[in-house]
């Protein structure tokens, strides 16, 4: 490491010691004065604690950036297919509730945004997906009730006048359990249908690597066992989903729920065919020839 430092320092220091003010301020806000001076200004990479902090911050920013688009492929699959096959509304409802509680808890505790910011982006995308699942299952009114209920819950969670921090701690413990429970309906849905349906592989594997990275960032930056245990449990169940995704990769689901409007159209065609067949059978051969 010392040899690497001696090689890099003459090259990098003229740049790192003359960074623009805004960039320097961002670096200090992320790393703190000591680690910024050690790693960036002086290019001393041998400081293990600062080096781990820098890795943790980099992972955190990467996770937040990825979270902004992690559910977009899932949304597109839903919109293009207009089918909720392979997707569990209960799983998304539980996960969204868990993320909403965690978002409020972390924000009110004053933890660095880089350690929890993805919960905000994923929660918004989850709401859209859950609403589409209800819509394509013929429950449009329930979708509106679901969104309104989450809005009311979010207002209460962020308001100190409604929910105090002691209660928030209890809710955060419950959020960890909700996060774990949210994976079970999706795992069961995939297993029962014998396929992943409209489940997005990008989202599944992104969640797997994200939860693993969050274990590291939590150990480095957040001294809170409630949050750590939630990420560990989430990683285990995300791994199960990832294994299912690989196992059922080329398998067609045995029980696929088609959109209601497509089912109705298929039913009408089948009824017309049956009626036509019955009429043809009732006619004499000469009548059928004239027809």
**pTM of the complete model beyond 0.95:** no
Band (pLDDT 50/70/90 cuts) for residue 277 is: low
In 3D space, the residue among 268, 265, 258, 263 whose CA is nearest the CA of residue 86 turns out to be 258
Neighbours of 200 (CB within 10 A): 23
Which residue in 206, 195, 183 sits closest to 73, CA to CA?
A: 206
Question: Which DSSP string corresponds to 105-150?
Answer: HHHHHT--GGGTTHHHHHHHHHHHHHHHHHHHTT-HHHHHHHHHHH
Which tens digits make up the pLDDT trace of 113-168? 888 888 899 899 999 999 999 999 888 889 999 999 999 999 999 999 999 999 99
Helix (H) or strand (E) holding 44: none
Domain boundaries, the chain: 2-46, 57-247
Number of Cα atoms under 13 Å in the Cβ half of residue 120:
12
In this prediction, residues 55-67 reach a mean pLDDT of: 85
Q: Which residue has the higher pLDDT, 124 or 278?
A: 124
Q: Output the CA torsion 214→216→217→218 (10° steps).
A: 80
Q: What is the mean pLDDT of the chain?
A: 80
List, for residues 4-39, the tens digit of each pLDDT value: 777 777 778 788 888 888 888 888 888 888 988 888
């Amino acid at each position: 490491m010392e040899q690497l430092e001696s090689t890099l320092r003459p090259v990098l220091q003229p740049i790192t010691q003359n960074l623009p003010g805004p960039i320097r301020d961002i670096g200090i806000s992320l790393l703190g004065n000591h680690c910024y001076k050690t790693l960036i200004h002086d290019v001393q990479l041998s400081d293990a604690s600062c080096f781990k902090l820098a890795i943790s911050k980099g992972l955190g920013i990467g996770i937040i950036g990825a979270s902004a688009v992690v559910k977009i492929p899932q949304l597109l699959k839903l919109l293009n297919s207009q089918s909720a096959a392979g997707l569990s509304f209960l799983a998304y409802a539980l996960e969204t509730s868990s993320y909403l509680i965690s978002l409020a808890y972390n924000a009110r505790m004053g933890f660095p945004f880089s350690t929890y910011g993805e919960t905000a982006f994923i929660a918004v995308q989850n709401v859209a997906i859950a609403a589409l699942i209800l819509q394509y299952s013929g429950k449009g009114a329930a979708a509106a009730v679901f969104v309104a209920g989450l809005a009311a819950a979010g207002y209460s969670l962020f308001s100190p006048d409604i929910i105090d921090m002691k209660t928030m701690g209890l809710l955060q413990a419950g959020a960890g359990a909700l996060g774990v429970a949210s994976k079970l309906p999706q795992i069961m849905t995939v297993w029962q249908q014998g396929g992943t349906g409209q489940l997005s592989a990008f989202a599944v594997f992104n969640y797997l690597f994200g939860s693993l990275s969050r274990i590291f960032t939590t150990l480095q930056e957040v001294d809170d066992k409630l949050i750590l245990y939630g990420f560990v449990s989430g990683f285990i169940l995300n791994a199960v989903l990832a294994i299912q995704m690989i196992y059922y990769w080329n398998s067609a689901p045995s029980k696929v729920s088609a959109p209601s409007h497509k089912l109705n159209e298929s039913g009408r065609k089948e009824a017309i065919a049956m009626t036509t067949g019955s009429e043809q059978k009732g006619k004499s051969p000469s009548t059928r020839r004239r027809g």
